[in-house]
Amino acid sequence: MTWNPSLVPGSTVIDLNGLTEGTHPLVVEGGAPLHVDTDVSLGDFRFDGALSYAFDDCRVRGSLSGNVVSACDRCLVPFDRDVSIELEAKVFLDPADESAGVEEIAEGVIRLDPEGSTLDLAVAFRAAVILDEPIKNLCRDECRGLCPVCGVNRNESKCDCDSSRRDPRWDALKDLSTESPKE
């Protein structure tokens, strides 16, 4: 009845050989930063939770904390923020099971490695970080972004561009408008 998750230090892969029914504590401490998306990574992470297995239902639940590095939506400069995310992921023990819905996949369904019986928690961690991303990911509330004319980072330097300059493609619309555009 005693099954202990076997984890390689610094790895997110667990060997499920000999898994027994029950709830098994699971702690994963990050090694190298985890690549989440093109310009998003999770460093210094720790997952504190459990793997539960009963009646063919296998789930990983717990809290994931770490440091997310991503690019600011306005100035495009990478910045970091600490996160603490509650996550729950369903584990598909049968790699051929295609019953997962799109929603489940987006929220982090983990599949076993078809070759054996290992589970990579990185899949669930990535999904959790992506779901946790703010709609506007800003390095700071008052980020001034990039100048639309010359592209300079307005947090770092000033430029003399006329920021009221418009995209010439809008001029045709402006002519149609009876109102003068507000500045």
> Which positions touch Zn ion (CB under 5 A)?
72, 74-75, 139, 143, 147, 149-150, 152, 159, 161
Q: 51 or 72: whose CB is closer to Zn ion?
A: 72
CB of 79 to Zn ion, least distance (A): 7
CB of 28 to Zn ion, least distance (A): 31
Give the span between the Cα atoms of 75 and 98, in whole angstroms: 41
Exposed, middle or buried: residue 110 (CB in 10 Å: 0-12, 13-18, 19+)?
buried
CB of 48 to Zn ion, least distance (A): 31
Beta pairing partners, 70: 40, 79
Distances (CA, A) of 179 to 167, 168, 170, 171, 182: 18, 18, 14, 13, 9
DSSP H or E stretch at residue 124: helix 122-132
CB of 37 to Zn ion, least distance (A): 18
Q: 7 or 161: whose CB is closer to Zn ion?
A: 161
Q: 8 or 152: whose CB is closer to Zn ion?
A: 152
Cα dihedral sign, 16-22-23-24: negative
Q: 112 or 143: whose CB is closer to Zn ion?
A: 143
Contact predicate 136/58, CB 8 Å: no
